[in-house]
Amino acid sequence: MESLVLHEDARSGNCYKIRLTAALLGQALERVSYDIIRGETRTPEFLSQINANGRIPVLQIGDRYLPESNAACFYLAEGSALIPQDRFDRADMLRWMFFEQYNHEPNIATLRFWLLYVGERNLTELQRHQLLPKRMAGDDALTVMDRHLADHAWLVGTSVTLADIVLYAYTHIAEAGGFRLRDYAHICAWLDRVQALPGYVSMD
């Protein structure tokens, strides 16, 4: 099997998704750290060799590089129970993974980054004007999840899939972005189910 190297910043939930997927599968990952706040993923070397899009995580598989956290999780989980065998369920898992990158991460992860790492007093005027719209859109995303989880133990089918793993990553730390998880009872119960999975590893 080819060596697996995760190029990451450990503070990023997108990087954590990949570590959690690998841990649940019992796969070893070598880790190389970058400080995104110091611009270490925007250097000419990083852009030319690792990811022209200037972002982490990137999963290195042998001498090939795979950007995009959810694509990396899919690569790792192929052939495992984390990807459903049923054709509809497999597409439905991807549905939640696209929802995560479109409706959830740009609101919930971005507010955490701004409030926890940039600092509210350092935000630009445009960022300050986006605080409320992103709060509302993030609460909309959490509401869609909470209603679904009201009568489903997992997002797709009857056992854990990548849909749960990738949405868990930024949901379980959403309070650092100012969201009140206690308002979402079904999400809280689902977070507990993820944390009870054999092989689960925490973010830090």
Decide if residue 53 touches its own copies (CB under 8 A).
yes
Cβ atoms 149, 190 nearer than 8 A: yes
Span interacting with its own copies, options 16-24, 29-37, 88-96, 170-178, rule CB under 8 A: 88-96
Q: How many angstroms separate the Cα of 120 from the Cα of each of 44, 90, 131, 137, 171?
A: 30, 40, 10, 19, 21
Nearer to its own copies, 34 or 146 (CB): 146
* Neighbouring-strand partners of residue 9: none
Q: How many angstroms separate the Cα of 20 from the Cα of each of 43, 62, 122, 133, 167?
A: 28, 20, 32, 30, 12
Decide if residue 121 touches its own copies (CB under 8 A).
no
66 SS3 class? strand
Single residue of 78, 151, 192, 204 touching its own copies by CB under 8 A = 78
Decide if residue 75 touches its own copies (CB under 8 A).
yes
Decide if residue 105 touches its own copies (CB under 8 A).
yes
What gap in Å lies between CA 170 and CA 176, rounded to an integer? Answer: 10
Nearer to its own copies, 97 or 191 (CB): 97
Single residue of 34, 74, 168, 184 touching its own copies by CB under 8 A = 74
Decide if residue 147 touches its own copies (CB under 8 A).
yes
Span interacting with its own copies, options 5-13, 35-43, 87-95, 190-198, rule CB under 8 A: 87-95
Per-residue tokens: 59 = 């999963």
